[in-house]
Amino acid sequence: MVRFSRVLLKDAGVAIDKTLSEILVCPLSKQPLRFCEKTKSLVSDTIGVSFPIKDGIPCLVPKDGKILEEESDASKA
């Protein structure tokens, strides 16, 4: 099982396996996460938090999450 999990997460920098993405949820909102190709991270759109993927392993500890800035704020700067 561990070997299978490593195979699924091996290419996580490129994309998360569909089966894995169906299982993973935000640790704070318990809502589904989506993979962001631009930042190579998992994003909770519900609360606007991004969780990094380090060495192919999603870091879903709440303290590792980063609050996303709104696009409207970025365009004003």
CATH number at residue 45: 2.20.25.10
Averaged pLDDT of the chain: 78
Confirm whether 21 is domain-assigned.
yes
Q: Quote the domain boundaries for residue 61.
A: 16-67
> For 64, how many CA atoms within 13 A lie in the half-sphere containing its CB?
14
Confirm whether 43 is domain-assigned.
yes
Confirm whether 25 is domain-assigned.
yes
Q: What is the pTM of this model?
A: 0.69
pLDDT given at position 27: 96
Confirm whether 23 is domain-assigned.
yes
pLDDT digits (tens, 9 = 90+) for 35-47: 888 999 999 999 9
pLDDT given at position 61: 96
**CA 59 to each of CA 9, 49, 54: distance values in angstroms, whole numbers, following the listed order:** 12, 12, 7
